[in-house]
Amino acid sequence: MSDAIISVRDLHKWYSGVHALKGVSLDFKRGEALGLVGDNGAGKSTLINILSGVHRADQGEIKVEGRAVSIATPRDAMDLGIETIYQYNSMVPTMSIARNLFIGREPTRLSILGVGILDQKKMAEESIRAIANVDLHLRSPDALVGELSGGQRQGVAIARAMHFKSKVMILDEPTNHLSVKETNKVIGFVRGLKEQGVTGVFISHNMHHVFDCCDRIVAMARGEVVLDKRVADTSIDEVHSVL
Amino acid sequence: MKRLFKTYLEKPELAGLILLVLLIVLFQVRSHGVFLNADNLRGILGILPEAGLVAIGVTILMISGEFDLSVGSVFALMPMSMAVLMVHGWPFPLALLAGLLVAAAIGFINGYVTIRFAIPSFITTLGMLFMARSLTVVVSGGFPPLLPADLPNWLFTSFVGPGNMFRMSFLWFVAVAVLTSLMLSRTNFGNWIKATGGFLPAAASMGIPTARVKIVCFMLCSVLSGFAGMLQVLRLGSPLPSIGEGLELQAVAAAVIGGASLTGGIGTVMGGIIGTTLIRVIDNGLVLSHVDANWFKFAIGFLTIFAVVANAWMRKRAKAIKMEG
């Protein structure tokens, strides 16, 4: 398919004898919000970990924008424009928002062998803009992430991904442990991705959340894709019945 | 409360600093003005760099989320290796380089073993504490070698400054303190150290080479300890194999009193220095105030526990704040 931003073909993964992924083939289309659902151990985390560079597939092919790629580290994934936001939060609570936005990708001056002096002015300016772009209202980029609520933190994580022009944003259970109000905020962020032309992959246990903000539902069970339909063509009951 | 939490995270050394000022005033009064006179200050400042450099290394390593108990042994092994090489005719600069390489190698082994086998650095470096101490005695052959007479003491231990107030070692100490402080607060590498110790999964998922960051911190810690040991040997004029015993715990105490968190992510170089100064001030001040000097270890122990209790309390508060909303 030509409009696929990521396509995976026949992906396999074994964990010490357990066949966690049994030949998964899937196309992630440009600008689409895809909901990935399934029980614990269904293989969704395995698939996501492979795409975000945490694990490597034992077999199979990954293409990003039509080009076969090898994703060996989280950095490789980020360089390809694939950003992952995890349920446990990819933020360091003891550091400021500005510092968190640029972890691992800090703008530097006078850099030698990759180590240089932080451009703190640029970090402050760009983080203010990045946060405003996702409609997150925070007092200051110097506030510590530890001071933020769970929803606000996910907002900062999304702002970070946007700022680095990611093409695909994978949200791994981003609404876990969040209050209803905070959850709605995160769902709003996911809806906003489409306007920015970013492909969203939203993983959740909660069908209502997925149906609320996605265009397409992919259900996995026992390491395989068992359902792949437009939201309009399916229902929560149908998805439940295949899991 | 949020404000307090934030102040603590940004300036974790503040409580130590306040305590330090209070103690200085107390000792100045109790010793009838002897504590802050030039002679006594010269004494304190002359030995502060040795423990201070070790504390800087230990503090940075703790911020990265690891721990080093072998610093006291490296403190002895590095100058002992140098002395043995110089007895065999090596010139001082080469011996210095070799000594620093020995220290760096020990730091590398500490870090590599800890990460490769995913074991607590507490254990790795406890083992290294014994191994490096043993090596020190073995290479010395049981007798401390005689140091050559033409050592560059002018560069490391001579008194300088107004009224000969400082030793050269103090200038080295200040230079290292400024450089490491800037590294931690102003460079991207400093950001990686804090992120690695602050929340390892987040740092790793953002593509920071966390293993490399930690190993560099282990090596820095070892090199600074070895260098500090050399300063002490040059000051004493003899490479005793027993120097630095118990220094590892004093350095950890200094880091913790200075606000570094045992779980990583929080701490400053300045805090480590304040903690070390506090320990030196207590040591010296107790004697000058005619208190039985055996209370020294009691005071350090009490302060350490107090600091960690305060630390834990702040962390609990921090968690409570995180749960909000």
Å between B220 CA and nearest CA of chain A: 16
Nearest residue of A to residue B209, measured between CA atoms: A104
pLDDT category, B183, cuts 50, 70, 90? Answer: very high
Residue pLDDT, tens place only, B221-242: 999 999 999 999 999 999 999 9
pLDDT at B2: 65
pLDDT at A112: 84
pLDDT at residue A211 greater than cutoff 80: yes
A46-49: long-range contacts, CB 8 A cutoff, minimum separation 24: A46/A13, A46/A15, A46/A20, A46/A21, A46/A223, A47/A8, A47/A11, A47/A21, A47/A220, A48/A84, A48/A170, A48/A172, A48/A201, A48/A203
Chain B residues close to A182, C-beta within 8 Å: 325
* ipTM greater than 0.85: no
Using the Cβ of A140 and the Cβ atoms of chain B, whether some distance falls under 8 Å is answered with no
Q: Which residues of B239-252 are buried (b: 16+ CB within 10 A; e: fewer)?
A: bbbebbeebbbbbb
Q: What is the DSSP letter of B66?
A: -
- Is residue B143 helix, strand or coil? coil
CA gap A53, A74 in Å, rounded: 4
pLDDT at residue B203 greater than cutoff 80: yes
Work out the angle between the directed axes of helices B71-87 and B121-140 (0-180°, nearest 10): 30
CB B104 within 8 A of CB B44: no
Å between B4 CA and nearest CA of chain A: 12
Residue pLDDT, tens place only, A212-243: 889 999 999 888 899 999 988 888 888 888 87
Put simply, the answer to whether A84 touches B205 (Cβ < 8 Å) is yes
Nearest CB to A117 within list B6, B187, B198 = B187
Using the Cβ of A72 and the Cβ atoms of chain B, whether some distance falls under 8 Å is answered with no
Using the Cβ of A147 and the Cβ atoms of chain B, whether some distance falls under 8 Å is answered with yes
pLDDT at B315: 66
CB A220 within 8 A of CB A38: yes
User: Which of A48, A99, A100, A103 should one mutate to test binding to chain B, selecting the residue with the greatest count of B CBs within 10 A?
Assistant: A103
Residue pLDDT, tens place only, B161-173: 888 888 999 999 9
Chain A residues close to B6, C-beta within 8 Å: 144, 147
Q: What is the mean pLDDT of residues A134-155?
A: 81
CA gap B293, B174 in Å, rounded: 29
CB A84 within 8 A of CB B197: no
Cα distances from A178 to residues A150, A154, B284, B325, in angstroms, run 6, 10, 54, 8
Cα distances from A138 to residues A129, A131, A147, A148, in angstroms, run 11, 8, 11, 9
Q: Give residue ranges of B with CB < 8 Å to any A CB.
A: 2, 5-6, 9, 186-192, 194-195, 198-199, 201-208, 265-266, 318, 321-322, 324-325
Q: Greater confidence, B44 or A194?
A: B44
Cα distances from A196 to residues A67, A136, B3, B274, in angstroms, run 23, 15, 36, 50
Residue in the structure block whose two tokens are 């002895």: B76
- For chain A, domains (ranges, CATH) are 4-95+148-242 (3.40.50.300)
Using the Cβ of A93 and the Cβ atoms of chain B, whether some distance falls under 8 Å is answered with yes
Q: What is the mean pLDDT of residues B100-105?
A: 98
In percent, the amount of chain A with pLDDT more than 90 equals: 28
Å between A238 CA and nearest CA of chain B: 34
pLDDT at B320: 62
Q: Greater confidence, A26 or A2?
A: A26
Put simply, the answer to whether A179 touches B188 (Cβ < 8 Å) is no
Query: Exposed, middle or buried by CB within 10 Å (0-12, 13-18, 19+), for B101?
Result: middle
Nearest residue of B to residue A84, measured between CA atoms: B205
pLDDT at residue A144 greater than cutoff 70: yes
